[in-house]
Amino acid sequence: TLLWILDRLIEAAAMLGVVAVFALLALAYGA
């Protein structure tokens, strides 16, 4: 269903967001 797809997309976006934040922090401390 559409709601299930949206739930999957939101969950995936949240995971990518967390990974992106950690990557930016790693770059900031590494610089």
| CA–CA distance, 9 with 4 (Å, rounded to integer) | 9
Which letter, b or e, does each residue of 9-31 get, where b requires 16 or more Cβ atoms within 10 Å of its Cβ? Answer: eeeeeeeeeeeeeeeeeeeeeee
| CA–CA distance, 25 with 11 (Å, rounded to integer) | 21
| CA–CA distance, 30 with 11 (Å, rounded to integer) | 29
What would the pLDDT profile of 1-31 be if each residue is shown by its tens digit? 899 999 999 999 999 999 999 999 999 998 7
| CA–CA distance, 15 with 7 (Å, rounded to integer) | 12
pLDDT of residue 26: 95
Entry pTM: 0.61
